[in-house]
Amino acid sequence: MFQNVGEMVILLWRTLLALPGGWRQRDKIFDQFFEIGNASLLMVCILSFFIGGVIALQTGPVLVERGLATAVGGVVGISICKELAPVMMSILIAGRIGSAMAAEIGSMRVYQEIDALRTMNISPIHYLVLPRLIAIAAALPMLVIFAILVGWLGGAFVCSANSRIDISFPAFFTTLRHIVEIKDVVNGVFKSFIFAWVIGVVSCHQGLITIGGPRGIGRSVTKAVVNSIVIIVILDYILTRLLLR
Amino acid sequence: MDSPPSTQQGIGVEVRGLRKSFNDHEVLKGLDFKVEPAEVFVLMGPSGSGKSVLLRHVIGLEQPDAGEILLEGKPIQSSNVLDEYRLAMVFQSGGLLNSLTVGENVGLYLMEHRLKPPEEISRIVTENLELVGLKGTEDKMPSELSGGMKKRVAIARALVTEPQLILYDEPTSELDPLSAVVIADEIAKLNERIRVTSLIVSHDRDLAFGVADRIAVINEGKILTIGSPDEVKRSQDPFVHDFLNTTFKRPQRR
């Protein structure tokens, strides 16, 4: 385990050192960025709309019964932007994009494509890892901003449609504006930026150390997704604790 | 990376006391041999004898446990020696990038190192594909090619780097006899034309005796014999004799 952590830190460091050459890889970065956004946007919309709805459904009636109807918008808004949108979207992207990264790089390793790159003096970090990391680090925060907005809409829709809550759209967003500050949104987006690097580094690392045939690729994909999610959840606690100050 | 010089001259390779183990299993047990500049040297041996591992050491993809590999007398472990000479490898599977077209694969080295403008890269790609008999395949994907065509694309990709040493890993494996002859012919023609040093590992006897200037036979990580094709044929080593002469005999039916 510690060897893997060490290798991931080295991979991250080498990728950061390669960042100045990122402009040369702009075509690949754009391709990856489009792939991440295009592949995930619909899922992000559906997931965040229903997450917003569920939070409204769980908290709305309880707060309304206790005369705290003015807090519903704020509770839904703050839980989505600070916690649920960044964490849930990161988990979604770990499953959807992290697995694809590990599988693609893993199969390139197994079928000697990465060896072929090395024999041509082409660094796999410049050619494969850097474009993926830049793309995911740019795309995930954008998806999270989108998820926050759609999640709020989902919450507002449920609050207005559910008779036990019965809070109108304008009232929901008025209470949300009173409680949610811009720094709460920034906190959530910042978390997702960090999680994006985690997903990218863990998935690319798993791809690069893949051994064996198709079974090895499958193992790498599973490890990439599981390890990403575990690290995201642990880091989420640490970041939340630090950002509370 | 600097632009490679235009002169193309094969380089000499020397392997000294090379040892390598994987998980306590010793794959290479102290190999010693020398390949002269512009020579076609074939290393023969059964599957699992350590041939491919040796090639991976020569091109710097593996680090030896002991011993050294010298290019023109300079150990490759020293910094920049691998950058000083142009080496290329044709992998057993071809090693083509499946997400790129044939043309992009062949031009990858020039494109990534920004060595030529795109129009010139396109011309060089076309020329090299024509050289291996694959004119007009630039826009095909590797998945649309046969095994023999993939190997020829891999050779074209190696040629683009204007190599001084080409390593071939089982160039005729998984090919039908006709495709194998085409590949062997390409290797022989290339050596005549550009005087590149070729180090080939293979268990294909026809290829070895057809193209080699010298042959070495390796088994269980040790070289058993080394010499010209005629000398190797006359070897008294029982394994070498069996390896070179054994043919399948159909059991007699009653």
CB distance A175 to A231 below 8 Å: no
Distance from CA of A24 to the nearest CA of B (A): 9
Name residue A51's amino acid.
I
Domains in chain A: boundaries: 25-243
What's chain A's average pLDDT?
Answer: 91
Locate B102 and state its tokens.
Answer: 């044939």
Chain mean position to CA B62: 16
Nearest 5°: CA angle at B119, between B113 and B125? 70
Residue from A103, A111, A134, A112 nearest A204 by CA: A103
For B209-226, the pLDDT digits (tens) are 888 999 999 888 888 999
d(CA A167, CA A87): 27
Phi, psi angles (nearest 5°) of residue A8: -65, -40
Q: For residue B3, what pLDDT is reported?
A: 40
d(CA A208, CA A231): 19
The residue behind tokens 């080699």 is B212
Distance from CA of B146 to the nearest CA of A (A): 16
For B92-125, the pLDDT digits (tens) are 888 899 999 999 999 999 998 888 899 999 999 9
**Measured between alpha carbons, how far is residue B76 from residues A71, B73, B81, B242 in Å?**
69, 9, 5, 35
* pLDDT above 60: residue B8: no
B112 touches chain A (CB under 8 A): yes
Strand pairing report for B13-22 and B25-35: antiparallel
CB distance A159 to A74 below 8 Å: no
* pLDDT above 90: residue A117: yes
Give B91's contacts in chain A (Cβ within 8 Å). 112, 115-116
d(CA A157, CA A171): 12
Residues in chain A: 245
Chain A residue with minimum CA distance to B165: A119
- Between these two residues, A245 and A14, which has the higher pLDDT value? A14
* pLDDT above 70: residue B4: no
Residue from A198, A219, A63, A77 nearest A148 by CA: A77
Percent above pLDDT 70 for chain B? 96
- Between these two residues, B22 and B245, which has the higher pLDDT value? B22
Question: What is the model's pTM?
Answer: 0.84
**ipTM of the prediction greater than 0.95, yes or no:** no
Q: For residue A130, what pLDDT is reported?
A: 94
For A57-113, the pLDDT digits (tens) are 999 889 988 888 888 888 999 999 999 999 999 999 999 999 999 999 999 999 889
Q: For residue A234, what pLDDT is reported?
A: 95
For A225-241, the pLDDT digits (tens) are 999 999 999 999 999 99
* pLDDT above 60: residue B6: no
For B121-164, the pLDDT digits (tens) are 999 999 989 888 888 899 999 999 988 888 889 989 988 888 88
Say if the Cβ atoms of B1 and A121 lie within 8 Å: yes
Q: For residue B166, what pLDDT is reported?
A: 92
Q: Which residues contact A230 (CB under 8 A, 6 or more apart)?
A: none
Give B60's contacts in chain A (Cβ within 8 Å). 118
Give A128's contacts in chain B (Cβ within 8 Å). none
* pLDDT above 80: residue A173: yes
Domains in chain B: boundaries: 8-86+165-246, 95-161
Identify the three-state secondary structure at position A117.
Answer: helix
Does B8-86+165-246 carry CATH code 3.40.50.300? yes
